[in-house]
Chain A
Amino acid sequence: MSIGNPRISGGVALAALLAFGTILGTSARADEVNRATLYGDMTTVSQDMLNRAGQDANNFLMTHGDYTQKRYFPNRQINTMNVRHLHPAWIFQTEVKETQETAPIVVDGVMYVTTAFDHVYALDARTGAELWHYKQPLGAITTYCCGPNNRGVAVYGNMVYLATLDSKLVALDAKTGKVAWQSDIADPELGYSETMAPTAVDGKILIGTTGGEYGIRGFVKAFDAKTGKLIWTFSTIADNSTGVWATKDATGQDLHRDIAAEKAALAKLGDPAKKLGGGVWQNPSVDLANRRIYFVVGNPSPDLDGAPRPGDNLYTDSLVSVDLDTGKYVCHFQYVPHDLWDLDAVSATVLVDAKDEHGASVPAVLHAGKTGFVYVNDRKDCHLIRFSEAMVPQENMFALPTPGVGTRMLPGANGGVEWSPMAVDPTLNLTYAINLHQPMHYSVKSAAYPDGKLWLGGAFTVIPEEEQWGNVTAVDYNTGKIRWQVKTAQPMIGGILATAGGLVFTGEGNGFFKAYDSSTGAELWRFQAGAGVNAPPSGYTVEGREYIVVGAGGNAQVDSKRGNNIIAFTLD
């Protein structure tokens, strides 16, 4: 247990804490000289830096680049003309050879990466030399569906923030890796767990939760960045979760619901809100002008069995906006009411200006679904402006899962687009998504709520004799049309980065890390990393030299080859 832990109580501990606090206070003040500009040695991450992260060609300050989550790195030193000369600057090997999903964060030449089982490393971003290494001492109980993943840290002030598999929020001193405080987010024995990176904004640390496979009741919470105290909680499951009994999904396809039977079940069972799932897998985007955040909510529990959960199951499989300061509901839009396929909403939202139905440019929010559609919604009231052409084959879509072997349907339950964040090149009005094609059987089998254990209500199984593959797809968000698409040998999970150099970078389970021309999809460069590249790349610049960095450690969910590499690339 650490200093500043809000759970410390009792006279002695408190007195010690206060005494220590005073000492810290003085030394911290001496250190607090505002030393330089964005391009100097600004090691303290200010709100101003975060607000302007999208234009910062030196640092990579947030999981998805900036508050709009465009993953657009504004340096053009590495570009379409010279990317073929890209080569490793250094490779850092972590202690953990397991599933790797970290999005590297870079502040003034210092890089922060995480690994499976919640290790954090601070590295010299120029050389890959280790500055410090923190291992979260995980509690006995951690519950997670899809591997002991961690997707990275948030940085704010002098702190680095980590959310852990045993559902704790930890603040580390950015210089030393020492724990400043630790707070409980939720009870892991009930199925709550953290794999996402937190988001830091205006003195708050925002965090969602996983557990949609375990009968949780999902949330987004805001904690005080200085103290770790809870500020607000938004429940992603509405108290009245039944909704409007929609018979079609957002794109007008029939969901084959038996509304009469569901209403009868509701009368008997009551509202299923308590164990309805609704995890949040990815960082919210933050609209600073309106002080709203936008995030998507995952699947209802149990995944495949609708019988114990009559109604639309709000706000599962939905885009949701809440007030940044209070956590109060603003608006929502549900993509798949009463989901029976785990075709939920997990990839990060992206804020762009897009054309609305009348051709006017409006503040919009993008999301790529496991359905294989990119959805474009209006930020004002969350309504759907348009959806894209399907990025992967959709066959037998929304056919009901059946007992036994099950129903064949496409896309499979991993998508379409999994949690993998998109990237946007705003100069081209294109959003880039990576997809999976995995034909699956969807079968249903009712089971009672198993007290925080895996609760799928059936199974989705890959059909072994059918071919699987993936693709990288560029979608024009002003029209919904696919601009270009490149097929990959394997289903894709990880993420993508766009740069001002006219490039997009993304990796594959077979170890390839590739650069494509962002306007045409032409492959311009590839590198074999020796382990699955299933993590989102980042870009940064130190001493005038641009780097692209990515984790290559494989992935538990698609079972790609494990490794323990963080690889930074540069030009000579």
Chain B
Amino acid sequence: MPTWILAVFAALALIAPAHADGIAEKVTLCASCHGENGVPVDAKIPVIWGQNAGYLYIELRDFKRGARASEVMAPVVADMSRDEMMALAEYFSKKPWPNLAQKPADAATAEHAQAVANSAQCSQCHLAGFLGASLVPRVSDQGYDYLLTTLEAFRSGARANNAWMTDLMKAYSEADIKALAAYLAGL
């Protein structure tokens, strides 16, 4: 387990007894991983600043229900009510998307990714610029390592909270998925 996780579990233990009225302490907890300025502390942690509120809520709900398995996020949401999850989702959705300083994909990779995106009709749901809306996440400029991990997790079934994304990723090769992740990260 990487050290940042240990550090945060320590923080979690401290915060747990305080319990939240309001979401202020929760927000501090989130910041310890998802970043004080929105830039996550580790490349495998997703950006949540500026993400669509509906999507943030549904993910918190799914972590709580166990529909999306995550050893890290499960304890974070274990005692949260729907209202708290919704409040956190609204809060983070209103923050600006951070600058991760990711480079655009090279021309060949971008072309490869666009061919896949066209055939899979990604934009039918993720909309123009891959900005999504409501329950469909923004995926443009999301961190590369996280994108690759989560797309592969859809494909392997490790992330099981969306049958559609799983079926879709199964239809593509590892190389296709790498190209997609690089392309989306660089948008």
**Does A83 touch B at the CB level, under 8 Å?**
no
The residue that B128 contacts in the complex, of A98, A165, A445, A456, with Cβ under 8 A, is A98
Contact A138 B128 (CB under 8 A): no
Nearest chain A residue, comparing its CB with the CB of B89: A140
**Contact status of A454 and B54, CB under 8 A, knowing A148-B133, A556-B127:** no
Contact A559 B123 (CB under 8 A): yes
| 10 further A-B pairs in the complex, CB-CB below 8 A; given A142-B134, A146-B124, A445-B167 | A97-B128, A140-B57, A143-B135, A450-B67, A450-B162, A453-B161, A454-B162, A456-B164, A557-B124, A562-B128
**Contact status of A140 and B53, CB under 8 A, knowing A447-B163, A459-B167, A464-B119:** yes
The residue that B135 contacts in the complex, of A142, A455, A456, A562, with Cβ under 8 A, is A142
Nearest chain A residue, comparing its CB with the CB of B57: A140
Complex Cα gap A450–B159 (Å): 13
Nearest chain B residue, comparing its CB with the CB of A193: B134
49-97 of chain B: CB within 8 A of chain A: 53-54, 57-58, 65, 67, 86, 89-90, 93
Complex Cα gap A459–B164 (Å): 8
**Does A141 touch B at the CB level, under 8 Å?**
yes
Nearest chain A residue, comparing its CB with the CB of B170: A445
A98 contacts across to B, CB distance below 8 A: 127-128
B167 contacts across to A, CB distance below 8 A: 445, 458-459
B53 contacts across to A, CB distance below 8 A: 140
**Does B121 touch A at the CB level, under 8 Å?**
yes
Contact A453 B121 (CB under 8 A): no
Instruction: From B67, B119, B167, name the one whose CB has the most chain A CB atoms within 10 angstroms.
Output: B167
**Contact status of A140 and B133, CB under 8 A, knowing A98-B127, A559-B124:** no
B128 contacts across to A, CB distance below 8 A: 97-98, 562
**Does A147 touch B at the CB level, under 8 Å?**
yes
Name 8 interchain pairs, CB-CB below 8 A, sorted by A.
Answer: A117-B133, A140-B53, A142-B133, A148-B127, A148-B134, A453-B164, A459-B167, A559-B121
Instruction: From B53, B58, B65, name the one whose CB has the most chain A CB atoms within 10 angstroms.
Output: B58
Contact A453 B134 (CB under 8 A): no
Nearest chain B residue, comparing its CB with the CB of A147: B124
Contact A165 B134 (CB under 8 A): yes
Contact A141 B57 (CB under 8 A): yes
Contact B54 A450 (CB under 8 A): no
In angstroms, how far is the closest chain B Cβ from the Cβ of A143? 6
In angstroms, how far is the closest chain A Cβ from the Cβ of B69? 15
Complex Cα gap A117–B53 (Å): 15
Instruction: From B54, B123, B161, B163, name the one whose CB has the most chain A CB atoms within 10 angstroms.
Output: B163
Number of A-B contacts (CB under 8 A): 61
A453 contacts across to B, CB distance below 8 A: 161-164
118-133 of chain B: CB within 8 A of chain A: 119, 121, 123-124, 127-128, 133
Q: Is the interface of A mostly helix, strand, loop or mixed?
A: loop
**Does A451 touch B at the CB level, under 8 Å?**
yes
**Contact status of A140 and B90, CB under 8 A, knowing A98-B128, A556-B127, A562-B128:** yes
B163 contacts across to A, CB distance below 8 A: 445, 447, 450, 453-456
140-154 of chain A: CB within 8 A of chain B: 140-143, 146-148
404-453 of chain A: CB within 8 A of chain B: 445, 447, 450-451, 453
Residues on A facing B (Cβ under 8 Å) = 97-98, 117, 138-143, 146-148, 165, 445, 447, 450-451, 453-456, 458-459, 464, 556-557, 559, 562
The residue that B54 contacts in the complex, of A140, A146, A562, with Cβ under 8 A, is A140
A456 contacts across to B, CB distance below 8 A: 163-164
In angstroms, how far is the closest chain B Cβ from the Cβ of A91? 21
21-65 of chain B: CB within 8 A of chain A: 53-54, 57-58, 65
In angstroms, how far is the closest chain B Cβ from the Cβ of A451? 7
**Contact status of A454 and B164, CB under 8 A, knowing A140-B86, A140-B90, A556-B124:** yes
In angstroms, how far is the closest chain B Cβ from the Cβ of A458? 8
| Per-position 1/0 for B123-166, Cβ under 8 A of A | 11001100001110000000000000000000000000111100
Nearest chain A residue, comparing its CB with the CB of B122: A559
Complex Cα gap A453–B65 (Å): 14
Nearest chain B residue, comparing its CB with the CB of A138: B134
Instruction: From B65, B89, B164, name the one whose CB has the most chain A CB atoms within 10 angstroms.
Output: B164
B58 contacts across to A, CB distance below 8 A: 141
A147 contacts across to B, CB distance below 8 A: 124
Complex Cα gap A87–B63 (Å): 56
In angstroms, how far is the closest chain A Cβ from the Cβ of B82? 9
B133 contacts across to A, CB distance below 8 A: 117, 142, 148
Complex Cα gap A270–B8 (Å): 48
Complex Cα gap A455–B164 (Å): 8
Instruction: From B67, B119, B134, name the one whose CB has the most chain A CB atoms within 10 angstroms.
Output: B134
In angstroms, how far is the closest chain B Cβ from the Cβ of A213? 10
B124 contacts across to A, CB distance below 8 A: 146-147, 556-557, 559
A165 contacts across to B, CB distance below 8 A: 134
Complex Cα gap A69–B173 (Å): 48
In angstroms, how far is the closest chain B Cβ from the Cβ of A328? 35
B89 contacts across to A, CB distance below 8 A: 140
Complex Cα gap A117–B121 (Å): 20
Nearest chain A residue, comparing its CB with the CB of B58: A141
Contact A140 B134 (CB under 8 A): yes
Nearest chain A residue, comparing its CB with the CB of B165: A454
Nearest chain B residue, comparing its CB with the CB of A165: B134
